Amino acid sequence: MPADAINALADQQADGAPPRQPALGFTGGLRWLWRQLTSMRTALILLFLLALAAVPGSVFPQRGASPLRVGEYIQDHPTAGLWLDRLGMFDVYAAPWFAAIYLLLMVSLTGCILPRCFHYARNLRSVPPATPRNLGRMPEHRSFTTSASTAEVLGAAGTALRGARFRLRPSESGAQDSMAAEKGYLHELGNLVFHVSLLVLLVGVAWGSWFGYRGTVVVVEGEGFANTLTQYDDFTPGRGFSTSLLAPFSFTLDSFDATFLAEGPRRGQPDGFTADVTYRETPDSEPKTQRIEVNKPLAVDGAKVFLLGSGYAPVFTVRDGAGDVVYSGAIAALPQDPSFTSNTVVKVPDAQPEQLGFNVTVTPTAPDQVDPATGPRSVFPEMNDPRVYLGAWAGDLGLDGGVPQNVYQLDTSAMEQVGRKDLAVGETWKLPDGRGSITFDGLSQFANIQVAHDPGRWLALLAAVAAIVGISMSLVVRRRRVWVRVTPDGEGRTLVEVAGLAQTEWAMLGDEVDAVLATLPGAPVAEKEHA
């Protein structure tokens, strides 16, 4: 039977009260609405909606993760894209309808769990209900007769149950004929801890996304970074962000090392990245050194500094026609393939007589022969035999037009090609017609670095751990009742009944009942079952 009967009871508790006709009037209507919202059925439906609503975010590209792909998608599907955009399908997890679902769920949760918390607190000291009349209908039931007196049996039962940490119903006035005991209150406590933790978890997540920030920056070996807005290549603040939340740290990338597998089926796959940095928590604090690796970020003042990726940065010196050094330094090149064939552009606006521009392809390990169809392709990602392939242009770089230019592209509309050449480290190319020269001084590496600050993450983690502990507790501990009844049979012997009932079906209930029974005077020795 009774699993269902008890479940029905749990339903009633969960729903606050048995369903009633909505009372007329405004407050009555509100109360009815509230009861609907906080019912288990609504929770169930909201859970479903939440699962369903999360799905489109994995189907369509999302602005937060890949804005470029969103743009492409809208370009490829103009009509559908427009509508999907209006519906928030490219920003699902920030969409109002998504928020509506989880906020409703949280309201429902609060409305459902708070009363249960109060109820739990009020009943901390409550006593188990009286022994039911017919113990034979309980899922576990044993009986025997003994020559011991009723008082002796009940005394032994009390000792055994108390020893097993059951809560006992105190004896009522008059001759006592039974004992009622209950155990497993931690089940409900675990359930409450779990649900309350879910609320706290949401608070932690919201807190972090409101006051947190995230930014990325490319830092070349030997160069530095200070945590200010202008230094970031890309920056995503939370809505409550203000620049005062930027921790005033800075660091220098002393050296960067990427290693790749040299053999085996995954030859060329990255094997490890390490970045050695010197950092200061504030401009006046002592410099410290640390090694950052993948999965091992640097933590400074609440922010975390991660290594996202890497690339190569060729170092050039450019002299112009007059022999003056008009350019000198490293420039990051964008990797084009897994072997780090990378492209970049060098713009030299100060060169005389004409401005110079170079298209640069970098191969950390140069091929023996360049395939004319594909152009130069690196044969291995590590810096074994670096080489640059240059295309030189002279004329007007078009930097004065006021239109911001892509730093990785050369606008050659007002330039003429001067020539092509490839260089190994240390080599110089003297440009024709007295336009100057370019020297390939060497290849540096750059690190793609992300700085992230999420002030809510500890709260979220704490809540998640509490939720796991709570739910485990609630699923492991069973609330159950055990009764012992004694009835004198009028011939000097006592009929003893022992019965048990668990709130949810529970295989161990029988063993527990047997254990209590075994301590009673005159109990038969139970045969152990061999299944």
Partner 1 sequence: MSSESWAHLSNALVYSTIIVLSVALVAFAADFALGTGRRRADQRKQRTVTQASEGASGDTAVTTAAPPELPADERWARVGVSLSTLATVMIVCAVVTRGISAQRPPWGNMYEFTVTAVATLMVIWVAMLPRRPEWRDLGLIVVLFNLLLLGVAVLVLYTESAELVPALKSYWLWIHVTSAIIASSIFTVGSLSSVLYLFAERYERRGSASSPRGVRDAIGARLPSSKQLDTVAYKTIAFAFPLWFFAVVAGAVWAEDAWGRYWGWDPKETWSFVTLVIYAAYLHARATAGWRGRPAAIIAIVGLAAFLFSYFGVNIFFVGFHSYGGV
Burial class (CB in 10 A: 0-12, 13-18, 19+), 317: middle
- Which residue among 361, 474, 499, 501 contacts ligand HEM (CB under 6 A)? 474
Alpha-helical regions (H) of 370-519:
457-476, 509-518
Say which entry of ligand HEM, partner 1, none residue 452 contacts (CB below 5 to 8 A, set by partner kind): partner 1
Question: Contact, 313 vs 221, CB < 8 A?
Answer: yes
Q: Is 247 in the site for ligand HEM (CB under 6 A)?
A: no
Tell me the closest approach of the beta carbon of residue 443 to ligand HEM, in angstroms. Answer: 52
Nearer to partner 1, 66 or 159 (CB): 66
Pairing outcome for strands 415-424 and 178-183: unpaired
Mask for 424-463, x = binds ligand HEM (CB under 6 A): ----------------------------------------
Contact 348, 327 (CB under 8 A): yes
Task: Calculate the alpha carbon distances from 434 to 85, 321, 346, 418 in Å.
Answer: 55, 5, 19, 11
526 contacts ligand HEM (rule: CB under 6 A): no
From candidates 142, 169, 183, 195, binder to ligand HEM by CB under 6 A:
195
Peptide bond into 353 cis (omega under 30): yes
Burial (CB count within 10 angstroms: exposed 0-12, middle 13-18, buried 19+), residue 163: exposed
Considering the rule CB under 6 A, would residue 475 count as an interface residue with ligand HEM? yes
| Nearest in space to 457 (alpha carbons), one of 240, 206, 99 | 206
Q: Please, what is the minimum distance in Å from the beta carbon of residue 60 to partner 1?
A: 10
- Taking the C-alpha atoms of residue 190 and residue 240, their distance in angstroms, rounded to an integer, is 34
Phi, psi of 315, deg, nearest 5 = -110, 125
SS3 434: helix
Site string for ligand HEM, 108-147 (x = CB under 6 A): xx--x-----------------------------------
Q: Is residue 205 part of the contact set for partner 1 (CB under 8 A)? A: yes
Interaction of residue 477 with partner 1, rule CB under 8 A: no
| One residue of 5, 23, 30, 65 binding partner 1 per CB under 8 A | 65
Provide the CB-side half-sphere exposure for 410 (13 A, CA). Answer: 25
Out of 29, 67, 163, 272, the only residue in the binding site for partner 1 (CB under 8 A) is 272
Shortest approach of ligand HEM to residue 198 CB, angstroms? 5
Residues from 276 through 335 that contact ligand HEM (CB under 6 A)? none
The position carrying tokens 């955009």 is: 85
- Pick out residues in 27-66 that bind ligand HEM (CB under 6 A): 38, 40, 43, 47
Q: Is 464 in the site for ligand HEM (CB under 6 A)?
A: no
Using the rule CB under 8 A, is 41 a contact of partner 1?
yes
Q: How far apart are CB 270 and partner 1 at their closest, in Å?
A: 5
d(CA 96, CA 92): 8
Binding residues among 370-389 for partner 1 as defined by CB under 8 A: none
Size of the site for partner 1 (CB under 8 A): 74
Rank residues 37 and 452 by Cβ distance to ligand HEM and give the closer one: 37
CB atoms within 10 A of CB 26: 7
Q: Is 10 in the site for ligand HEM (CB under 6 A)?
A: yes
Kindly write out the interface string for residues 424-463 of this chain, putting x where it contacts partner 1 by CB under 8 A and - elsewhere: --------------------------x-x-x--x--xx--
**Where does 96-185 have alpha helices with state H?**
96-122, 150-163
- Could you tell which of partner 1, ligand HEM, none binds residue 109, using a CB distance below 5 to 8 A set by kind? ligand HEM
Distance CA(296)–CA(287), nearest Å, equals 19
Q: At what angle do helices 509-518 and 150-163 cross, to 10 degrees?
A: 130
Nearer of residues 15 and 152 to partner 1, judged by Cβ: 15
DSSP structural state of residue 375: B
Footprint of partner 1 on 143-162 (CB under 8 A):
143-145
Asked if residues 193 and 470 have their Cβ atoms less than 8 Å apart, the reply is yes
- How far, CA to CA in Å, does 281 sit from each of 235, 391, 488? 20, 43, 82
Q: Shortest Cβ distance from residue 105 to ligand HEM (Å)?
A: 5
From 240-248, 265-273, 347-355, 366-374, span contacting partner 1 (CB under 8 A)? 265-273
What gap in Å lies between CA 308 and CA 294, rounded to an integer? 8
* Residues 164 and 515: beta-carbon distance below 8 Å: yes
Min dist. Cβ of residue 234 to partner 1 (A): 13
422 versus 514: smaller Cβ distance to partner 1: 514
- Interface residue list for ligand HEM (CB under 6 A): 10, 14, 38, 40, 43, 47, 105, 108-109, 112, 191, 195, 198, 471, 474-475
